[in-house]
Amino acid sequence: MKKPDAQKVRFTRERKLTIINAILIFVVLIVILQLWLLTASMNALLGDDHAVLIPAALVSLGCLGLNAGLLWFVYRID
């Protein structure tokens, strides 16, 4: 059941800024991991090593899911 607005925890702007800074750091780290995965996969493909491509793609998809979840949380605290 959805919480009525009165029961929702509202953060002050200062707190929201702290939360959003923390989320920003997480999101940047995740994207750096994805960039590394992409370059490693490219290197593997050019070296005819096809075995790592699908696991790498799935991990990258998981990272996107994590990023989407964090973005959803950002909009939720808005």
Binding site for other proteins (CB under 8 A): 9-10, 12-14, 16-17, 20-21, 23-24, 27-28, 30-31, 34-35, 37-38, 41-50, 53-54, 56-57, 60-61, 63-64, 67-68, 70-71, 74, 78
Nearer to other proteins, 3 or 28 (CB): 28
Phi, psi of 2 (to 5 degrees): -75, 140
Phi, psi of 8 (to 5 degrees): -65, 140
Q: How far is the CB of 25 from other proteins (least distance, A)?
A: 10
Q: What SS3 class is residue 4?
A: coil
Structure tokens at 34: 């994805």
